[in-house]
Structure 1
Amino acid sequence: MFRETFCLVMFLFKKILPVLHLLIRPFIKWFLHTFTRLCELQRICYGAKAGANRTKQVERSLTMSHNRRIQELIKDLNQHVEHCDDNEFIGFSGRAVGIVMREKCIKPHCHPDFPALFGQCVTQIWGYKRLMIAVEKLRSEPYDAANIVHERKLLELWNELMPDTPLETRITKQWQEIGFQGDDPKTDFRGMGMLGLENLLYFVKEYRDAARHVLSHSMHPRFGYTFAIVGINITSMAFRMVKEGSAKTQFFNICKTAPNVDHFHMFYSFLFYQFDSFWMESEPRNIMDFSTIYKNFEEWVLHALKNDDTVFNSNPLIEII
């Protein structure tokens, strides 16, 4: 009875707390502004640690702003980020800095550091949105066997992983040696499209020794698994984390400017390498344990990403073996 009551109280507390925060937030902002003579964005830029901690707070502050011009700015940047070119994107930060300084009455000669600090956060925030769009574009591009570029990349994947074993024909059971399900890998890319292939290819080219190390584990007589299929599942995990926003911690910490697709590939490579270690340490009974181990690994990653100081470093992959 006590446990049920306690759970009910905690549930209600979690529901009520955000509402209370919204109600008292204007008073807190007024109080801090009165005594510090700084607006919320200034306090964040000057006081928060650079990286995820600062940029997440800036993004939250902008999102919750009631200032009409700032709301219009956010709406306009969100509308243009999908179709802007690199030169137009560079102008995002300058435009945002100008509007915020004008609306918040921030004098440049009194606060010379603010434009650079705030501008960097703007670049990271909308750079992440550009990354989401670029990754989604790759995911939605289906593998096309009639596309010579797609075919060339698939054959390159084989050659990188199996340099001493020529592929006999395009459609062959040999593909199963690197973890595809059947004779033709194109069917395995249906869920993640070209993103799945691009991730695998980046991993095996940029971290060749680490990738071959993982491939050798996938061929273990007791704990083996399907290398390519697991790799595509890791693509799905990385894509989900980016889309839901949990991966912001990683990208805001490793990128001082806007993250790009290569940063996503590096994030994927880290996840695949770490999943392999996680899998081997779990000593699965058979491949039927995959769902449980995959879920446990994802929960471990998500828990780590809740800490704003978390950085998944890919350097160990370069040094492997």
Structure 2
Amino acid sequence: MKHFLRVVTQFFVFLYCKCLWRGLKFVARKLTGRCELQRICYNNKHGARRTLKIESSLRCSKNALLQSALSVHPDKVEKTIEDIMALKKINPDTNPQLGISLQASLLQIVGYRKLVGEVEKLRREQYDCENQEHEDMLMKLWKELRPDSPLTGRISKQWCEIGFQGSDPKTDFRGMGLLGLSNLLYFAEHDKTTALQMLHDSLQPKHNETNSPEWEQKNIDKAIGYSFAIVGINITDLAFSLLISGALKTHLYNVAPETPSLRDLQQTFCYLMQEFQRFWVDEDPSDIMEFNRVRSKFHRRILRQLKDLDTALCPHFTASDLHLVNL
């Protein structure tokens, strides 16, 4: 009986709060002469603060047109904005900035949804040795990371030099598919200095002042830091989970002026790789067996960052690559 009364009480409290909220919105419109979308656009700067509020307003609306605006095709955004302004009886000639702001935010919203589908498709595409495009990407990754060391064969233990687990990298791409390879290649091409430094650091055995010469000689070829390529695939998984959960909206709504693209996600991957390197060093794990613990802790730190609506996870590209960030 007590449980039933508690449920009933919670229901009526919810109903009361909902009615109160709608009443406050009605009063706000009467006092300001502006609808909720107008107030959001005029009172919030462009980026996550504005777009997340617009997204919430459209989702909570009872109007079918406003709800459907969240899933329109990017090509129909402009027409949707016209329909919304007509529905709200807003004159576009006297409110030109409103239409521009709504369009930018709606492009971010539907673009994020489109990006999720694009990334999921790439993740599901498995590496295929018979696909020449896949093979070319893999060979290019080797050349970017090992420019002075020719690969002796497609199947070779040399792949372990850049952090794969065995002599055929395709087996390591099973979890993240072609997304893992494309991210690694983007990092190697667009932030090459950092990628090469990370690879170099990952291959160094961890010593301390108490290590004896005998211990060092025994472990000189054993890098107990991390495996570069495997870490890249793991960080790809982390970026993917942030995207799918919606946590990455804060960042992408702040850095993408309109429609977020795959390149935006790849630049986010670069940032995560750079930051994970620093985090790993700061954590100073005793061996690779602590990788999952460090990764989980790093994941939680990124999630905390993304709760700040002004967050932008911008990679620290080298000077020659800075122009790519702002294209």
TM range, smaller chain = 0.7 to 0.9
1:252-310 per-residue CA deviation (whole Å, 9 max, x = no partner) reads 11111111111110000110111011001111100011111101111111100111101
Residue 21 of structure 1: how far off its partner (Å) = 4.6
Instruction: Say which is worse superposed, 20-29 or 291-300, in terms of deviation.
Output: 20-29
Q: Secondary structure at the match of 2:128?
A: coil
Query: Which residue does the alignment assign to 1:234?
Result: 235
Partner of 1:71: 67
Deviation at 1:97, TM superposition (A): 1.0
1:318 partnered with 2:314: no
Aligned to 1:113: 97
Deviations 1:30-73 (A, max 9, x none): 11111111000000001012101000100110111111332344
Matched, 1:52 2:48: yes
Equivalent residue for 1:209, pick from 167, 170, 193 = 193
Aligned residues of 1:246 and 1:302 also touching (Cα < 8 A): yes
Q: 1:74 Cα shift?
A: 3.9
What is the aligned partner in structure 2 of residue 35 from structure 1?
31
Structure 2 partner of 1:266: 267
Shift of 1:317: 3.0
Using a 3 Å threshold, how does the CA distance of structure 1 residues 114 and 160 change in structure 2: closer, same or farther? same
User: Contact 1:132 / 1:243 at 8 angstroms: preserved in 2?
Assistant: yes
Whether the 8 Å CA contact 2:144–2:188 is kept in 1: the answer is: yes
User: Per the alignment, do residues 239 and 43 of structure 1 end up closer, same or farther by CA in structure 2, a change over 3 Å counting?
Assistant: same
Are the structure 2 counterparts of residues 73 and 283 from structure 1 closer, same or farther at C-alpha, using a change threshold of 3 Å? closer
Percent identical: 39
Q: 1:259 to 1:142 in 2, by over 3 A?
A: same
On the 8 A contact 1:273/1:317 being kept in 2, the answer is no
Instruction: State the alpha-carbon separation in 1 of the partners of residues 232 and 191 from structure 2.
Output: 14
CA contact (8 A) 1:189 1:197 kept: yes
Change (3 A) 1:317 1:15: farther
Question: What is the number of equivalent residue pairs in this alignment?
Answer: 294
Q: Which stretches in structure 2 are left out of the alignment for 5+ residues?
A: 1-9, 207-223, 321-327
1:155 is the counterpart of 2:155: no
Residue 167 of structure 1 and its aligned partner are, at CA, apart by 0.8
Aligned-residue CA RMSD (Å): 1.9
> 2:128, 2:296 → 1: CA distance?
31
Structure 1 residues 269 and 72 mapped into 2: Cα distance closer, same or farther (>3 Å)?
closer
Please list every run of 5 or more consecutive structure 1 residues that lacks an aligned counterpart in the other structure: 1-13, 82-88
Normalising by structure 1, what TM-score?
0.87
C-alpha distance 16-310 of structure 1, shift in aligned 2 (>3 A): farther
> How far is 1:15 from its partner?
11
